[in-house]
Structure 1
Amino acid sequence: MSKIDFGKFQMIPSIRRLNDLEVALKSSREIVLLTEANIANLQSLVEMVHRSGKDAWVNLELLGGFGRDQVGMKLLKNYYRVDGVMSTDSTKLGMAKRCGLVTVQRFFIVDSRGFDTSLRILESAKVDAAEVLPAVAALGFIDELKRVSRIPLLAGGFIQTAEMIEKVQHAGFAGITISKKAFW
């Protein structure tokens, strides 16, 4: 299981360009989200992240060439040594959880119907945390999100300023995912 402490605010570098990985590895952050990984480079990327003393997470929807079934989840844990996964797919997250991976359910707030569906999923989610996107929308719904679930909430997407990070933290989110390397 991951060593991640959601009791303190987590800033999770989201690596959209592999050239930026070195910056994240030199940071004091505990988790690195590999959003541009594929099955050909995942093992070496995870090894680099682990050598720097950090946990390696992947986004299942963005992991190139990967089979998202029970065998795939076991491979992520046992062969690739991934520590955690993020996904919008509750079924895949359940498989990942059974394999011992840290799991983060992702929700996109695009309209009220989608938000209501997200609340229903969140009420019964058996994951370690949830990420709500975009962050600017997440800020407006933090009270409702906390009302239906006690799991740590992350915000992500379109975080561009230190003021936005501060707002997210003060609102009660457990952390953020952020691709803007100036904040790592």
Structure 2
Amino acid sequence: MDTHQLLELLDAGPVIAAVKDPAGLARALDSDVSVLFLLYGDILTIRDTVARVREAGKRAFVHLDLIEGLSTREISADFIARSTAADGVISTKPALTRRARELGLVAIQRIFLLDSMALKSVERHFSQESADLVEVLPGLMPKIIRQLCRTTGRPIIAGGLITDKEDVTGALGAGAVAVSSTNPAVWSM
């Protein structure tokens, strides 16, 4: 899968199921969403988890920072690329997303915007070579989403605290290509 194919999937269904445990995975696999963010697991189980997602006809993105047993070094992206059928990765670490891109995985840079200083830092230091898409948390900031769409030059995914249709439409209306949520009620919108 490449970025263009992912964007086509998200255009058809802009809600991403972010799963944080086996029960959430089961619900996401039974849902209509086509893209899953895997926010849990370890190096012994991630291959099988990704395989279950792919067998269900869905796309799997592994959050490298949240998989137990992986390090913060580029070798983690190599492990996912060689040992799983994941479509891509998510990380807060630009070196990991950059390496994932080199390996042909779709790379999503996750950023947390806690205050105006964090926003300025992203605007100054974001490298287009490090990621294909940007996930911004919390995702309830339409004005900031519009600004990030302009400054990063990358598609934006809004995540974190997305709980209802108003949150989804607000983020999408501000220019986000998708929203990610751990809330199964959002997955069916």
Q: Shared fold by TM > 0.5? A: yes
Structure 2 residue corresponding to 1:18, chosen from 6, 22, 28: 22
Structure 1 residue corresponding to 2:6, chosen from 4, 7, 20: 4
Which residue is 1:121 aligned to? 125
Query: Which string of whole-angstrom CA distances, capped at 9 and with x for unpartnered residues, describes residues 129-153 of structure 1?
Result: 001110123x231232122132110
Query: Which string of whole-angstrom CA distances, capped at 9 and with x for unpartnered residues, describes residues 65-104 of structure 1?
Result: 1134333322201212221111111111111111111101
Which residue is 1:170 aligned to? 173
Structure 2 residue corresponding to 1:183, chosen from 175, 183, 186: 186
TM-score (norm 1): 0.91
Structure 2 residue corresponding to 1:154, chosen from 154, 157, 161: 157
Structure 2 residue corresponding to 1:110, chosen from 114, 120, 123: 114
Count of residues in Structure 1 that have an aligned counterpart in Structure 2: 182
Gaps of 5+ in 1: none
Gaps of 5+ in 2: none
CA distance in 2, matches of 1:165, 1:143: 14
Q: What pairs with 1:55-134 in structure 2 (closer than 5 Å)?
A: 55-122=59-126, 124-126=127-129, 127-134=131-138
Q: Given residue 150 of structure 1, which amino acid in structure 2 is its aligned partner?
A: G
Query: Which string of whole-angstrom CA distances, capped at 9 and with x for unpartnered residues, describes residues 26-52 of structure 1?
Result: 222221111011112101101100001
CA distance in 2, matches of 1:142, 1:130: 10
> Identical aligned pairs, as a percentage?
28
Q: Given residue 7 of structure 2, which amino acid in structure 1 is its aligned partner?
A: D
CA distance in 1, matches of 2:148, 2:49: 33
* Structure 1 segments (4+ residues) deviating >6 Å: none
CA distance in 2, matches of 1:136, 1:61: 23
Say if 1:56 and 1:83, in contact at 8 Å, map to a contact too.
yes
TM-score (norm 2): 0.89
- How far does residue 175 in structure 1 lie from its aligned partner after superposition? 0.4
CA RMSD in angstroms, aligned pairs only: 1.6
The answer to whether residue 55 in structure 2 is matched with residue 48 in structure 1 is no
Which residue is 1:144 aligned to? 147
